Structure 1
Amino acid sequence: MQFTKIIASAITIGAAMAITGDLTYYNAGMGACGKMVNEGDYACAIGHKMYEAATNGGNPNNNPYCGKQIRAKMPSTGKTVTVTVVDSCGGCADNDLDFTGGAWNDLTNGAAPTRYHDLEWDWILTRPLHTFTALTIHLVFVWPIEATWHG
């Protein structure tokens, strides 16, 4: 007798991995990633130390953080936005983010620029960490048979 069972696996990355930091506002312009940023863009700068560590002395325009997306939530307003990394922030700690006008206005309900201390954020993965495929398992059950030997 043979039984076949299909097992599938998946990874879920949830809010338990949220990073907390401060949120500040900055004026649009040329970002460290080498792209012009407009005031209405949903763009951000990450902490300079984090940005520079990834640049590793190379061209900052080729930093691996450039173009990566972040999902940011402000518990005090209940809002969530998605922003794209375009710059580094010299006045930011490692977990702080600096937003341009579009994202700032949406997340803070249009509040005047200040510093918020309740920002929660995480990286948005653009490709899966691992690819899982279906796995087929064949189980074979063997029952002992009683036999008598006459010799």
Structure 2
Amino acid sequence: MQSFINIVLAIATTASLVSAAPAASIESRQSMTGDLTYYAPGLGACGVYNSESDSIAALSWQLFDQYTPGGNPNANTLCGRQIQINLGGKSTIVTVEDRCEACQLNDIDVPIAVFSQLADPTVGRTQMTWNWL
């Protein structure tokens, strides 16, 4: 019986490591550089409704799609992850809730309320750095 329990535990541990593998590869505290833009959120790719006052982010389709198991964006392992955006000595924390079709790899799209915390919205697009928390 003990052998059976050990085998089940080994399988469960291996399965959790395999399912966690994509997220583990983004755990780096390395700072990424990209453009910050803003958009009007609604129903996001993670299956959650958000408003322009929510502290959320849409990641580039290139990054987001790498972590979408079976093609279902609602099951994306990046959904709900937090990132810190840094710009001109200011920073804010946002939660990944959406996918940005027009963004390049390290770009981030946020609601205007978040953008306004970091930069003047009239610029429309500005370079920033960000990292996973």
Aligned alpha-carbon RMSD (Å):
1.9
Measured after TM superposition, the shift of residue 14 of structure 1 is 9.5
Whether 2:73 is the aligned partner of 1:60: answer: yes
2: CA distance, partners of 1:39 / 1:26: 8
Residue in 2 that maps onto 1:18 = 31
Whether 2:113 is the aligned partner of 1:120: answer: no
Measured after TM superposition, the shift of residue 61 of structure 1 is 0.4
Q: Contact 2:69–2:75 at 8 Å: present in 1 too?
A: no
Residue in 1 that maps onto 2:17 = none
Q: Contact 2:112–2:121 at 8 Å: present in 1 too?
A: no
- Give the counterpart of 2:60 among 36, 47, 65: 47
Q: Given residue 72 of structure 2, which amino acid in structure 1 is its aligned partner?
A: N
Aligned partner of residue 121 in structure 1, secondary structure: strand
Whether 2:47 is the aligned partner of 1:38: answer: no
Residue in 1 that maps onto 2:5 = none
Q: Contact 1:24–1:113 at 8 Å: present in 2 too?
A: no
2: CA distance, partners of 1:60 / 1:14: 23
Mean CA deviation greater in 25-34 or 50-59: 50-59
Residue in 1 that maps onto 2:42 = 29
Measured after TM superposition, the shift of residue 101 of structure 1 is 2.2
Residue in 1 that maps onto 2:90 = 79
Measured after TM superposition, the shift of residue 111 of structure 1 is 2.5
2: CA distance, partners of 1:113 / 1:100: 14
Q: Which has the higher helix share?
A: 2
Runs of 5+ unmatched residues, structure 1: 1-12, 125-151
Q: Given residue 69 of structure 1, which amino acid in structure 2 is its aligned partner?
A: Q
2: CA distance, partners of 1:32 / 1:112: 27
Aligned partner of residue 42 in structure 2, secondary structure: coil
Q: Contact 2:32–2:129 at 8 Å: present in 1 too?
A: yes
**TM-score scaled by length of structure 1:** 0.66
Whether 2:112 is the aligned partner of 1:101: answer: yes
Q: Which of these two proteins has the greater Rg computed from alpha carbons?
A: 1
